[in-house]
Chains A and B, each alone.
Chain A
């Protein structure tokens, strides 16, 4: 058991490699990652490098997941489109969906368009629901087994179960 039920559920569903950039809404998730074996967790310096490293780990035979704040999606678009989507390299994503009306202003413009952005690039997403982290983990891994890039959006700190 790690500090994160969500991470535990992903590991249980078969995930073997995690890369990402922290968000204050993903504290438990990254606390759990810190206890993974060194070959199973990459603390990336930017989100595009995290998703590219996941592609490398997938080529190497691992099931992967990336975790990030939605602000990192912009950095990722080139890699998601010209690597994951184009080569059909699957990628399950855990994305904190910042930008609610009460959130800080730097999150608002992208935050209000995160779902449109994912729709625009044909990346299926679902919003995390309380207590549903196990079903969400299975959904991410099953979709990735079919070659898909898919995202679970975490709205609010309480989604970081």
Chain B
């Protein structure tokens, strides 16, 4: 579904991603791990369609279409979801209005009628229960005054509402206590279907105790330097990133 080939990306003239290639097929869970500053969030930003990264080389296709030419709102309607590392607070815009607009834009794209008010509220209720989000949060402005954990749960709630084909979770585990982490991970697992995929971007292994990846990739210095099964995550947890850095530097 997603195919990244030799992607090279700069931000403000500085090359951050040097050469990234990655294939994600339906149903797969990929974990992208790596030390700070390795380019993990830049990769997420490119996939979600932010305008600031400059694409220097390479291709990204989504079911054969050039993803890089698709505006962010259409990527979302096409089934790509980004869980933000730092969800944005939007005072004055209610969660209900936000999600209703988003869900109906998705429906319009699929040629469906907008949901009625009561069907929409029913859908919200179901999804709130699924991700164990406090029902009061949904009555507030988007992320305004939410705690760190509430913001991350709210990302998973939005994911549940939009049912993406590919969810990219950018450091969703950062700043979460163990209970919130479990809720977030359970949410992701409950939403998992045989045909949808997840890219988990994380610094630590602990989220991968709950969301079991099929593949673990190590991103370092703008490249994927190692790919293996879930056991790689444990090895990283045990030994840290130093041995990888050493290995890469020796090769160079």
A and B co-occur in one complex: no
Binding site for B on A (CB under 8 A): none
